[in-house]
Copies of this chain bind each other. A is one copy, B any other.
């Protein structure tokens, strides 16, 4: 993509009506635009990041044979009355009346609808287990929408639902999703930890929040920092015993949100140097339900003796749009965003220092044409000040900048700037691809 064509109109100054760093930076870098209270448009730069995150989540679900469907945003109130949750959500639920006065609502979550759907398809024990997910916009009419897309009203959520024939199998699905979430967050380039949590209006008997530690997060967390030593990367999801053992290992480390925190126990059982009191942002939440929803919605299957039983279920959410802000909160500096390479809108920012110069222009154009199919590149080809060019790429957080200047090019060199460290290296033209591969794993 060339900046001369890309829809990118960053603000020169931080907006004064935003307080959280991620909110300021997303507005300033032209990623989002508010159109109504707590309702945002994702501008092209923001949407690329949102889609990158969505695709990482989608690909990992696919790898584990979890199938995607897509439920609508608007639901009928009927199922919510059956589950007795129609009143639970209170004013946070956006209630709608259509032209025929039918009671509708904008889905804040989908337990009822998915339970109703599968109960029409999964009839025999042979049809189990199944885990289904969708990535769809949700609406919660927050009393005080704030912090940009961190706590907005219309937000993108990935929600998965597991269906099993017994407690034992359902617990196993829960454990697998627990590990899948750790894998997803790792792949996104962030370190989110699991915390025992309250179940809230979604309900159930077992629940974990996945929280990304940040200085200004809204969640208080208490944990044993050696939980980070647990190795989960190479776990085989088909080895049920190993999966359960690993979850047991996690449960042996103290890690609780404030609602579950027990101060005395924490201080007695975790060594002082390992105790962490901190703040963070909830980016995932998983729930084990047992037969809570299937009983309310009469969702049953025939077991191998021909007997009817209630289906066991769980639900597993990731705040996709919130993740964009959360990742920024955990990774920025005074110049702007510092994206993990995995989710960056472009991996490489290519800068032609001076458009009027033949040497740098020729090299930049050729480099862009040659590598644009291979790497994700944004090419600064405009005739604007060099300082402005550098500032924009720092602001939008590209992992690496290639700065093509006349003098360096005539010496067969390229200036390579690492966004995170700020380090500038002079790399020989014919070494550049090797250098990028080695240092950025593109």
A residues near B (Cβ < 8 Å) are: 5-7, 9, 30, 33, 35-37, 39-44, 47, 50, 65, 67-76, 78, 91-92, 94, 96, 98-99, 102, 104, 106, 113, 116-117, 120-122, 127, 130, 132, 137, 139, 141, 143, 153-154
A67 to chain B, nearest CB (A): 5
Across-interface contacts of A143 in B (CB, < 8 A)? 99
In the complex, what distance in Å separates the CA atom of A364 from the CA atom of B143? Answer: 57
The listed residue (B41, B50, B106) touching A71 by CB distance below 8 A is B41
Across-interface contacts of A41 in B (CB, < 8 A)? 69-72, 113, 117
A106 to chain B: closest residue by CB: B74
In the complex, what distance in Å separates the CA atom of A130 from the CA atom of B6? Answer: 9
In the complex, what distance in Å separates the CA atom of A263 from the CA atom of B130? Answer: 58
A101 to chain B, nearest CB (A): 11
In the complex, what distance in Å separates the CA atom of A73 from the CA atom of B152? Answer: 13
In the complex, what distance in Å separates the CA atom of A76 from the CA atom of B33? Answer: 14
Are A42's CB and B67's CB within 8 A? no
Are B33's CB and A120's CB within 8 A? yes
Interface CB pairs A-B, < 8 A, 19 = A7-B67, A7-B121, A35-B72, A36-B74, A36-B75, A36-B102, A36-B104, A37-B102, A41-B71, A41-B72, A41-B113, A44-B68, A44-B69, A44-B132, A47-B69, A50-B70, A72-B137, A92-B99, A94-B98
A11 to chain B, nearest CB (A): 10
Extra inter-chain contacts (15) besides given A35-B117, A40-B72, CB under 8 Å: A6-B67, A7-B121, A7-B130, A9-B127, A35-B72, A35-B76, A35-B113, A35-B116, A36-B74, A39-B75, A39-B76, A44-B67, A47-B69, A72-B154, A74-B106
In the complex, what distance in Å separates the CA atom of A132 from the CA atom of B94? Answer: 29
A267 to chain B, nearest CB (A): 42
Copies in the complex: 2
A377 to chain B, nearest CB (A): 15
In the complex, what distance in Å separates the CA atom of A127 from the CA atom of B50? Answer: 25
Are A42's CB and B30's CB within 8 A? no
Across-interface contacts of A117 in B (CB, < 8 A)? 33, 35, 41, 43
Across-interface contacts of A154 in B (CB, < 8 A)? 72-74
Q: Which 7 A-B pairs have the closest CB atoms?
A: A36-B76, A9-B121, A42-B70, A91-B99, A44-B67, A41-B71, A72-B154
Across-interface contacts of A132 in B (CB, < 8 A)? 7, 44
Across-interface contacts of A70 in B (CB, < 8 A)? 41-42, 47, 50
A403 to chain B, nearest CB (A): 24
In the complex, what distance in Å separates the CA atom of A96 from the CA atom of B104? Answer: 10
Across-interface contacts of A40 in B (CB, < 8 A)? 72
Across-interface contacts of A7 in B (CB, < 8 A)? 67, 69, 121, 130, 132
A136 to chain B: closest residue by CB: B137
Are B36's CB and A121's CB within 8 A? no
The listed residue (B47, B120, B130, B137) touching A137 by CB distance below 8 A is B137
Across-interface contacts of A137 in B (CB, < 8 A)? 72-73, 137
A134 to chain B, nearest CB (A): 8
Across-interface contacts of A139 in B (CB, < 8 A)? 74
In the complex, what distance in Å separates the CA atom of A26 from the CA atom of B106? Answer: 25
Across-interface contacts of A99 in B (CB, < 8 A)? 91-92, 141, 143
A38 to chain B, nearest CB (A): 9
A240 to chain B, nearest CB (A): 16
Given the known inter-chain contacts A47-B68, A47-B69, A130-B7, please indicate yes or no for A35 contacting B98, CB distance below 8 A. Answer: no
